[in-house]
Structure 1
Amino acid sequence: MHTVTLIPGDGIGPEVSKAVQEIIKAAGVEIKWEEINAGEGVMDEYGTPLPDEVLDTIRKNKVALKGPITTPVGSGFRSVNVAIRKKLDLYTNLRPAKAFEGAPTKFKDIDLVVFRENTEGLYAGIEHMVGDDAAESIKVVTRKASKRIVKAAFEYAKKHNREKVTAVHKANIMKLSDGLFLEVAREVAEDYPEVEFDDRIVDNMCMQLVQYPEKYDVLVLPNLYGDVVSDLCAGLIGGLGLTPGANLGDEIAVFEAVHGSAPDIAGENKANPVALLLSGVLMLRHLEETEAADNVEKAVAEVLAEGEILTGDLGGQASTTEITEAIIDKL
């Protein structure tokens, strides 16, 4: 029996979270879910979208599954997602991008893994106004944070028999900050001679990915570039509705869907649960429930390949309930 913190999230979060719970149970894994809320729904009660109790239960259980949480644009509270990563020092954002047969994409045989540094860079949110007409944002890159994210990428490549790690940067322009990241990446690469290493400038990397995605394997990037490029990779495989995510530290792991909360369809039984479910697959592997993880992933692949029961974002008209039941039937 595993004990896992569950944060259902906002919008469609509760619906897709429920679907994932049902599928994991059908896969034969016993989990005691400790459910606790964060986001817009708790603002009135706690005065914050991220009460201390949320962080406390994650620290206690070491593993959490989190549905999408709304982040206001331009005003309001800062991202709950970013706050969880920083407060729990979840320095690795892991974003696999694997193409499934039947997914709405022109690309085939894509199997990329993005390692995004999660704690610093422009995402640190160190910014201020300079007078009334200018805003300044400070980008921080440290040797420590760069080393641990690059090492995490190489360790993953070594463990999963991946052939190449590519460091992505803009060191031609930001010679000190991105230059430090690239310098550290090259140093770490020397400790893994069995894994091929190269680097790409971020704008060229984006072009390469839409032309020759099959040439790349594991990508490791600073925070902001990682956010942008991981969404690009999601687009290559059919969208965020098929893209899992994990935030990993030395002791704590939070698994999440990386798509938004879609408040426009909340409560309408239209949401696609696959992204959060595939995040749950990553969680099951983390919990060493490998057989169940493989079975769930295979069931998802079969449902997508058949193409008969798909939600609207995948080109079909099925409900959340219908695609959930279809995956359970495959199990």
Structure 2
Amino acid sequence: MHNVTLIKGDGIGPSIMDQAVKIIDASGAKIHWEEADAGMAAFNKFGTPIPDATLESIDRNRVAFKGPLTTAVSEGFRSINVELRKKYDLYANVRPAKSWAGVQTRYSDIDIVIVRENTEGLYAGLEHYLTSKRDIAESLAVVTRHGSERIVDYAFKYARDNNRKKVTVCHKANILKYTQGLFLETAKEVAARYPDIEFDSKIIDATCMHMVMNPQQFDVVVTTNMFGDILSDLTAGLVGGLGLIPGANIGADAALFEAVHGSAPDIADKNIANPTAVIMAGVMMLDHLHEHEAANKVKTALEKVIAEGKYVTPDLNSNAGVGTDVMGQAIIDAMA
């Protein structure tokens, strides 16, 4: 039995997480869900977006399954997601983007995995005002050899473990010669340990252009924090949007799995939210827990339902346009 901290989140979070939990339970995986609070719902209830009880649950279980959380812009708590990643040193953010049969996009054969360094760079949160008038602000980008080495090593191990052929490191070392230069230099050193995996490096702006013009050239892409954030949204656009993209945050002894889209309060409680992203995050979690048979059952059933297009939410097929709950039940039925 696997103990997992379940955080349903804000907005559409509870509705899509309820379906994901039902589907994972129906897969035969042995999961004991320990529900905990976080986000605006937790703030309204307890006066804090991350109650101590939630952290204690993650401390015990070391695996969390999380719905989208609302973070206030420019005020209040900086980011619950960032705080969780820092506290549990979840240094690797993994976001696979793969084409779906039944989802119309410009491309039909995309299969790219973004591996993003999750704790350093400009998102380290080291920023301040330089004047008392607050008219000049400064952010510091932190890149360490340790952080660079472990994320690039993770990307190569991921490629080897998942029968991937190529790792591309994305950087801006031509301009940021110290921070990005250190990242690129370290990546080259790590790549030498994996002669069986093809290694490539590209400047970040050129990467964005090439991903739009010829995305099939990319396999596993590893990069620093902010660049990874941007590239993972770009690859989501190639395959149909954030509603189809899962995310895993992996550390040495803890992991957090989530949909990467927002809480979408405008469609909360309307039973129209697409649960695909969080279901696929659940698939990643099952693989992490070595529940590979259950993971494959869920993924295969979800692919079947989306390909058929009959029992999917309006964003996937406006002519079908069933509810979140009907789509969830269709996936359970497809597993049977």
User: Share of identical aligned residues, percent?
Assistant: 56
Cα distance per residue 1:293-321 (max 9 Å; x no partner): 11111111111111122212223311101
Mapped partners of 2:93, 2:227: distance in 1: 12
- Residue 81 of structure 2 corresponds to residue 81 of structure 1: yes
- From 306, 321, 324, the equivalent of 1:320 is 324
Mapped partners of 1:52, 1:71: distance in 2: 18
Aligned position for 2:334 = 330
Mapped partners of 1:223, 1:87: distance in 2: 16
User: Which one is further off, 314-323 or 197-206?
Assistant: 314-323
Mapped partners of 2:142, 2:28: distance in 1: 45
- Aligned-pair distance for 1:46? 3.5
- From 310, 313, 317, the equivalent of 1:311 is 313
Mapped partners of 2:155, 2:199: distance in 1: 11
Structure 2 residue ranges without an equivalent (≥5): none
- Residue 98 of structure 2 corresponds to residue 106 of structure 1: no
- SS of 1:122's partner is strand
User: Which one is further off, 184-193 or 50-59?
Assistant: 50-59
Mapped partners of 2:284, 2:163: distance in 1: 17
Aligned position for 2:152 = 150
Name the aligned partner's letter for residue 255 of structure 2: A
Confirm or deny: 8 A CA contact 1:95 1:246 kept in the other structure.
Answer: yes
User: Which one is further off, 161-170 or 100-109?
Assistant: 100-109
1:1-331 equivalences under 5 Å are: 1-131=1-131, 132=133, 133-316=135-318, 317-331=321-335
- SS of 2:315's partner is helix
- Aligned-pair distance for 1:3? 1.1
- Aligned-pair distance for 1:82? 0.7
Mapped partners of 1:231, 1:213: distance in 2: 14
Name the aligned partner's letter for residue 84 of structure 2: I
TM-score of the two chains, using structure 2 as the length reference: 0.97
- Aligned-pair distance for 1:45? 4.2
- SS of 2:167's partner is strand
Name the aligned partner's letter for residue 209 of structure 1: M
- Aligned-pair distance for 1:18? 0.5
- SS of 1:154's partner is helix
User: Which one is further off, 104-113 or 253-262?
Assistant: 104-113
Mapped partners of 1:243, 1:82: distance in 2: 19
Go from structure 1 to structure 2 and tell me whether the alpha carbon gap of 1:45 and 1:318 turns closer, same or farther (over 3 Å shift). closer
- Aligned-pair distance for 1:147? 0.4
Mapped partners of 1:233, 1:270: distance in 2: 24
Mapped partners of 1:61, 1:320: distance in 2: 29
TM-score of the two chains, using structure 1 as the length reference: 0.98
Mapped partners of 1:208, 1:56: distance in 2: 44
Number of residues of Structure 1 aligned to a counterpart in Structure 2: 331
Confirm or deny: 8 A CA contact 1:104 1:315 kept in the other structure.
Answer: no
Mapped partners of 1:51, 1:190: distance in 2: 44
- Aligned-pair distance for 1:105? 1.4
- Aligned-pair distance for 1:2? 1.5
Name the aligned partner's letter for residue 35 of structure 1: E
- Aligned-pair distance for 1:159? 1.0
Name the aligned partner's letter for residue 205 of structure 1: T
Confirm or deny: 8 A CA contact 1:5 1:58 kept in the other structure.
Answer: yes
- Aligned-pair distance for 1:104? 3.3
Mapped partners of 2:334, 2:325: distance in 1: 14
Mapped partners of 2:104, 2:322: distance in 1: 15
- Aligned-pair distance for 1:53? 2.1
- Aligned-pair distance for 1:267? 1.1
Confirm or deny: 8 A CA contact 1:5 1:61 kept in the other structure.
Answer: yes
Structure 1 residue ranges without an equivalent (≥5): none
- SS of 1:73's partner is coil
Mapped partners of 1:268, 1:245: distance in 2: 24
Q: CA RMSD in A?
A: 1.0
- Aligned-pair distance for 1:54? 1.6
Mapped partners of 1:56, 1:230: distance in 2: 30
Mapped partners of 1:48, 1:146: distance in 2: 33
